[in-house]
Structure 1
Amino acid sequence: MRENAGAAFGFAGVAMAAVYARDRKDGDRLRMTEQLGRTSTPYELPPVLSLSDHHPVTEAYRTGRSVWPATAHPVTAGETPAVSVGALPLGMVHAPLGCLLVVADGPDRFDPTRRRLLEMYAAQVVIRLEADGLPLTGPEPGGERARGTSVLRRIRPGAFTLGLDTGDIDADSQMLRLFGIAPESFDGRIEALLSRAVPDDLPSMMALVEPDRRPPNVRDLEFRVRLSTGELRWLSLSCQVQFASAGRPDQLLGVVADASQLRPSAHEVSRVQRLATALADATTIREVGSVVVTALLDSLGADRVALAELVGDRLVVTVLEPSDQNAWPRAWRSAWRTEWPDAPSSSLPTLEAVLREGTIRLWPSHTATQPDLARLGPGGLALLPLPAEDRVVGACMVGWDEPHEFGLEERSLLTATASLAGQALVRARAVDAEHELATMLQRSLLPRRLPALPGGVAVARYLPATAGLEVGGDWYDVIPLTDGQVAFVIGDVQGHSAAAATIMGQMRTAIRAYAVEGHAPDVVVSHANRLLVDMETDLFATVCYVALDMEEGNAWFVRAGHPPPVIRDPEGTTRELHAEIGPPLGVFTEAEYTMATTTLAPGSVLALMTDGLVESAHMEVEEGLRRVGASLAAADPSDPDGTADSLLGDTARRDDDVALLLLRYDGMAVRPRRAGWAVWRLPDAAVHARRFTTRTLRKWDATEESDTVLLVVSELVTNALVHTRGEVRLDLTLAGDRLRVAVSDSSPRTPIRAASMDWEATGGRGILLVDALSESWGSVPFSGGKQVWSEIALPPSEPDRPTREGEATQGNGPGHGDAAAAK
């Protein structure tokens, strides 16, 4: 092949070459943009061709396949030297950049070997054209040629053939110069060339000649060689295996070109590395959009950027910068009207084409854009498809108002940005979906709303971790109990997994059940511990349980491996509730849990939290508790929601879930009045119960509904005496305008209201009467038995008025109690 070195064109015996591109003004014509080699030739090079012309150039452009005419083409019919002609497409069928025409002296000069070399050479031309970042379009008539069309003068490739059996290589002089080897000193062995390669790149080069890894089709490779001066040079290689007639691999054909200009500079590499690092930390689609917009605006000085995610056949815009709708064309404003705009991709034809083809489109300042892109980038416009997993997942638009040209570094940065952003979008989409699922599961296991409390306001916050995606085990609960007590519970199951969420749900349910049964806090926690041990799981849980008497402010609390509660006193001082801490639940079967007491004054704030709020990789628990105390002291206790938000602080990045339960204790403005009586098991026990109730109602001056109350008391006491054994107790509670009647017994069996009643039946009407006379009624577990209760609404008390002479006050007349009791 060395004889080709002296040819005018210098490659594969070509005497002349020309590049054709679509005309700027007339899209149905191809215009010659560059000619290289011999200026005079027997073959005529038409400056303009119509796409309908019968010519090798137009045929190659239309079909996307190389055209090698079988006959020579003289200029005239006279006796002139014959030539060989070939036309090679530049680019793919659906996105052609142009066409390369090659001419060689003499007939049949393009044998199969030279055809393969020229096809690989055309691929090198395409790489250079794409690196220039400009569409290959013909010059305007009478005007200057577009920048970048001198690519044939800039690319100086070398060619070689390598015998796969012998290791002998036939390389032209240009290839030897690229390797820094003098042609006269070359011994024709492949080892001489491989010795110049950088050792790190040798494995990929040797793979090309290994029998089981030889490329059946054209393969591209970039590698480095070290010249005798010590300089490193990047080279690009395109090669293909040629097979002998028997189908045996015979030789390797290759084209080598200088690729130094295609390699990114150190500054560009650092920008791409910073972008990759920022995208690696972006966990949501909005974060990905913000990172991409910042990178493009800061690095390229763009005036507007739009990032859209492809969902089905619709483009869902993630980021519009600037967000002012007047900065965008009317066509886009009409399609994208909402805060999170979306539109069918078909409504924006150019974007649809970019998504379909998957190739970057650039419009410098001197080129016209399509109508649907008008005003997006009058100075320059780039449309980037975002590839990932062998498909396009979105698109990015970058526009400039002032004239802008795309250099090699910008082209590389845009290409890298598109690739990184596409992969980041796929990750963020999966993260968003998994995080939404985890959050939904977590919240479904937590209380939907907290109950209204007499004498206080409770608020809660839950924030899932951002570092992990799996559901966590943090929970909280507020459990109203009997006698004006409320239990506040917060807990944390070890780990983040479905198993942790399952244990969390079981523990919350178990603790609520034990608490409602009326057990003391230490007993509730002990029962929950034994239950978790019996589950035979490797997970454990920490719990803090506080039972508070909302009437008196007395609190009993237990800690099982959990951070202590923090209290803000009315004066603004804060303190931690320290007690002897027991082991986490699920560790020891016979673990003991000590109960401690404290008192809350009206105006106090009680805060319970999980360790995600007070502990992290950069903060110890003690420091976290001090920060909580400081925030609690500085907060406004009259605003519980604001106080909870201030305690959370800046938790944008969380390594663990955070659960917070906050109570502002106000105390009861009007304390309930209570009275209780142990019912004797005598034949006239119901009569004594009614007499006790009558005396109590007179004492409380609440006799307006005494008949209703006495009937409910009689029915509940009678049911307890008839259907149970053991002690029966009657408790009356007056809170405002509501009277609560509660009868406790030792049987856990709950009374059931009959769905239908036979009027000849002798029983079963008691519960029907209670249901009809009560505002509400029910049954709760109580100390191994149950408590059946009924609430009766009383008329609002009227202001005192003078009593007329001789008029008796209702319920205060002599013998009224006996008369009522006899009813």
Structure 2
Amino acid sequence: MEAAGGYAAGVYLRSPTAGLLLMAVFTGLPLQLFRPWWRMQVNRPYPVAEAYRSGQAVLLPDAESAMSRFPQLMAGLPFPFASLYEPVTAGTERFGVLVVLREATPGIPVGTADRERLRRAAEQLAADLTALAADGGRVLWEGDPMGVPAPPPEAGAEGARRAADRLAQAVLSLDREGRIGFVNTAAEELLGLDGPHLRGRLLWEALPWLGHPAYEDHFRAGFMSGEPVHFPARRGRHPPGQWLSVDLYPAADGVTLTLGTSAKPAYAPASRTRQGPDSDSDADADADMDVDLDVDGYADLDVSADEASALYRPVALAIALTEAVTARQVSAVVTEELLPAFGGRQLAIYLLDERHLYLAWETGFPQGFLNRFDGVSLDVRLPGVETLTTGRPMFFESMQHLAAAYPGIPLDADVGARAFLPLIASGRPVGSCILGFDSPRGFSPEERTVLTALAGLIAQALARARRYDNEVALARGLQSALLPHRLPVREHVDTVGRYLPGTQGMEVGGDWYDVVETGTGLLALVIGDVQGHGVAAAATMGQLRSAVRAFALSGSTPEQVVSGTNQLLIDLDPGQFASCCYMLLDPASGSVMAARAGHPQPLLRHPDGRTEVLDLAGGVVLGIDPEASYPVTELRLTTGSILALYTDGLVEKPGLDIDVGVERLRTALEAARPSPLAETADRLISEAGNTADRPDDIALLLASRTGGDP
């Protein structure tokens, strides 16, 4: 933290739950103010997750750069600050992420020296964790983060105390972690507590009424932005109705907090009480920020991490839903953002189709329990059906309340609360959403309002996703029809092709391969990649594949084939470009003429196993320059050799140079058995096929010369 000029720092580590990072340690700021960020899913669009996924540092010098790249982060922390994220890795082992927060430097990037210091710190941490693992330690984090305290705050010089004691205004001095140091006499009198009772304690432990979630954003702003912050706060219910003005004056070494009496503001935060099945919900709903009193008469706020998260989670959910493309992605976002916001543990989403509700997503329910409700008709009396048909959300504080309202309904073993939300988009029914909780609980009026509003956002996202899914099905069908279903069988040559769609977004791209018998005894090997994804990319791919086949069948040279295809793409002007590699092989002699347009270099495995990356001359990608030229390279394929043509999806990984991926592929081809060729193709593509998160599609074409003239 000090080396990088920060005022706070922390470390995220892997947890026993796959895909979940947990904050392990944190220092420099009050830990409880950052409860919403204690847990971090690695697939979410946050800088911590991005650094972990990519293996590359994420450096955000100011709020503008953070907003442009990670709007969800700024939705929860809308303050001017800088943040640095360095992955903690050792070889292929990813332990977590080192985080440093510091003052913003608008328009000035993070300097090289700071980046190097941060990198060295992460490397040292990775080395220590590697050594720990080698000694049998389990390098995973479970539970809440650990605070790393700064030195205990000092009471200050006697002269400063006397000066502060002359003030009628209550003054407290806090360190950067929120612990109370100095307390003047006016503060002791106003709070009814003496200095020893306050000094050395966290502010929110000593004065729990300041720990209400409604005030957390004010404290975050004061501690992170460095600017003064002013807000009114209600001091629980002791004495009744007392409001205080709270002023924060932050500096690099701490924060000065002043308190003064104040009239009730025109606007006061509404209640966020958690009502149990026996609570007086009407009375509680009318109270302003109702809290319980402990035995000393001071407010005892039972504020959970989930409740603190609820302050920003709805905004984060709304932003995340705009990025979700498929229905599955929408459901995953709801699981990761909505459930933690309200302390839920179960989620089910049903979608409407032909007047029946079908289970589209579930998590947390006993296995198989929801199967009996899959495909239910809209005339069945079930809460999940009636919430959609009436358009009215339904809240049950316990399973007993649910059973009383719907006698005979099958219940799982859980006794917790349930919320049934209608999913209606622009007046059209989409489905219903069920939230389940482990224990009985009430739903405050504002929670009901927020949940209902979020249900509308979820419905809009699902409606959009279903249209998108339909387009995906169309694109997949189009792509399947355009890719070759079988490759020609020729003497002296074996060919094998493989294709894998991407798993992000449309999951359909413009990669293609082909093998064309030219009619002159020669065999054309083709591979290409159209920029982009979706129906447009697949359609452009089909046009290019047809053009290449037409040129090849006409007896054109490789240079003529690629140049003609380039001109065709420019004439079509689809707003896309494409890369391509075209090889004309004589199976009998093994001679090859190759032309390349911005495509990755092929690999050649020699009969003795030695494998090299070819160095074919080439031109720019197709569709850019009508005057582009595409020189031809000649080579010979000896008996037992294998040519490997591939698209960049096979060798590109986020955060890694493409040369690293090419070398990995070369090594794999060198180590593979030369036959059968289909087994070699499966081996080369298997690693990519087992990756759940592929941003690009993959095409692979292998050609092996099995005989012919020496």
Normalised by the length of structure 1, the TM-score is 0.44
Q: Report the equivalent of 1:362.
A: 396
Q: Cα distance, 1:362 vs. partner?
A: 1.1
- The answer to whether the Cα contact below 8 Å between 2:309 and 2:341 also exists between their aligned partners in 1 is no
Q: Are 1:660 and 2:699 matched, yes or no?
A: yes
Larger RCO: 1 or 2 (CA < 8 Å, sep 6+): 2
CA distance in 2, matches of 1:559, 1:280: 39
Q: Cα distance, 1:317 vs. partner?
A: 0.3
Q: Describe the shift of the 1:390–1:532 C-alpha distance in structure 2 as closer, same or farther (beyond 3 A).
A: closer
Give the letter for the 1:355 counterpart: L
Q: Describe the shift of the 1:260–1:389 C-alpha distance in structure 2 as closer, same or farther (beyond 3 A).
A: farther
Q: Describe the shift of the 1:178–1:277 C-alpha distance in structure 2 as closer, same or farther (beyond 3 A).
A: farther
Q: Deviations over 1:315-371 (max 9, x none)?
A: 11012446765x52xxx64x45xxxx4232323433322212221231415533413
Match of 1:375 among 411, 414, 433: 411
* Aligned positions of 1:604-619 closer than 5 A: 604-615=641-652, 618-619=655-656
CA distance in 1, matches of 2:665, 2:412: 50
Q: Report the equivalent of 2:268.
A: 234
Q: Deviations over 1:123-160 (max 9, x none)?
A: xxxxxxxxxxxxxxxxxxxxxxxxxxxxxxxxxxxxxx
CA distance in 1, matches of 2:439, 2:576: 63
Q: Cα distance, 1:554 vs. partner?
A: 3.0
Q: Report the equivalent of 1:543.
A: 580
- The answer to whether the Cα contact below 8 Å between 2:417 and 2:441 also exists between their aligned partners in 1 is no
Q: Report the equivalent of 1:646.
A: 686
Q: Report the equivalent of 1:600.
A: 637
Q: Cα distance, 1:617 vs. partner?
A: 6.5
Q: Describe the shift of the 1:394–1:506 C-alpha distance in structure 2 as closer, same or farther (beyond 3 A).
A: closer
Q: Report the equivalent of 2:330.
A: 288
CA distance in 2, matches of 1:377, 1:422: 29
Q: Cα distance, 1:489 vs. partner?
A: 0.7
- The answer to whether the Cα contact below 8 Å between 2:503 and 2:693 also exists between their aligned partners in 1 is yes
- Rg comparison, structure with higher value: 1
Aligned residue for 2:635, secondary structure, equals strand
Give the letter for the 2:355 counterpart: D
- The answer to whether the Cα contact below 8 Å between 2:508 and 2:538 also exists between their aligned partners in 1 is yes
Q: Describe the shift of the 1:505–1:386 C-alpha distance in structure 2 as closer, same or farther (beyond 3 A).
A: same
Q: Report the equivalent of 1:385.
A: 421
Aligned residue for 1:373, secondary structure, equals coil
Q: Report the equivalent of 1:579.
A: 616
CA distance in 2, matches of 1:478, 1:361: 61
Q: Report the equivalent of 1:630.
A: 667
Q: Report the equivalent of 1:352.
A: 385
Q: Report the equivalent of 1:7.
A: none
Q: Cα distance, 1:672 vs. partner?
A: 9.7
CA distance in 1, matches of 2:531, 2:417: 52
Q: Cα distance, 1:390 vs. partner?
A: 4.1
Give the letter for the 1:360 counterpart: M
Q: Cα distance, 1:578 vs. partner?
A: 1.1
Q: Are 1:266 and 2:308 matched, yes or no?
A: yes
- The answer to whether the Cα contact below 8 Å between 2:310 and 2:342 also exists between their aligned partners in 1 is no
CA distance in 2, matches of 1:390, 1:349: 24
Q: Are 1:507 and 2:578 matched, yes or no?
A: no
- The answer to whether the Cα contact below 8 Å between 2:475 and 2:534 also exists between their aligned partners in 1 is no
Q: Cα distance, 1:308 vs. partner?
A: 1.1
Q: Describe the shift of the 1:621–1:659 C-alpha distance in structure 2 as closer, same or farther (beyond 3 A).
A: same
Give the letter for the 2:425 counterpart: E
Give the letter for the 1:524 counterpart: V
Q: Cα distance, 1:267 vs. partner?
A: 3.4
Q: Cα distance, 1:429 vs. partner?
A: 1.8
Over the matched positions of the two proteins, sequence identity in percent amounts to: 36
Q: Are 1:519 and 2:556 matched, yes or no?
A: yes
Give the letter for the 1:310 counterpart: L
CA distance in 2, matches of 1:514, 1:292: 50
- The answer to whether the Cα contact below 8 Å between 2:314 and 2:341 also exists between their aligned partners in 1 is no
Q: Cα distance, 1:601 vs. partner?
A: 4.0
Q: Report the equivalent of 1:314.
A: 356
CA distance in 1, matches of 2:693, 2:413: 37
Aligned residue for 2:700, secondary structure, equals strand
CA distance in 1, matches of 2:527, 2:325: 29
Q: Describe the shift of the 1:556–1:384 C-alpha distance in structure 2 as closer, same or farther (beyond 3 A).
A: same
Match of 2:529 among 492, 503, 517: 492
CA distance in 2, matches of 1:530, 1:294: 48
CA distance in 2, matches of 1:424, 1:485: 52
Q: Deviations over 1:189-213 (max 9, x none)?
A: xxxxxxx9xxxxxxxxxxxxxxxxx
Normalised by the length of structure 2, the TM-score is 0.50
Q: Describe the shift of the 1:413–1:594 C-alpha distance in structure 2 as closer, same or farther (beyond 3 A).
A: same
- The answer to whether the Cα contact below 8 Å between 2:639 and 2:705 also exists between their aligned partners in 1 is yes
Q: Cα distance, 1:544 vs. partner?
A: 0.5
* Aligned positions of 1:7-26 closer than 5 A: none
Q: Cα distance, 1:559 vs. partner?
A: 0.8
Give the letter for the 1:663 counterpart: L
- The answer to whether the Cα contact below 8 Å between 1:387 and 1:418 also exists between their aligned partners in 2 is yes
Give the letter for the 1:443 counterpart: S
CA distance in 2, matches of 1:589, 1:610: 24
Q: Describe the shift of the 1:455–1:259 C-alpha distance in structure 2 as closer, same or farther (beyond 3 A).
A: farther
Q: Report the equivalent of 1:565.
A: 602
Q: Cα distance, 1:663 vs. partner?
A: 1.4
- The answer to whether the Cα contact below 8 Å between 1:310 and 1:316 also exists between their aligned partners in 2 is yes
CA distance in 2, matches of 1:353, 1:583: 60
CA distance in 2, matches of 1:535, 1:378: 61
Unpaired runs of 5+ residues, structure 2, are 1-238, 246-259, 272-284, 292-302
Q: Are 1:406 and 2:439 matched, yes or no?
A: no
Q: Describe the shift of the 1:363–1:483 C-alpha distance in structure 2 as closer, same or farther (beyond 3 A).
A: same
Give the letter for the 1:384 counterpart: F
Count of matched residue pairs: 426
Q: Deviations over 1:224-263 (max 9, x none)?
A: xx982698952679xxxxxxxxxxxxxxxxxx97654599
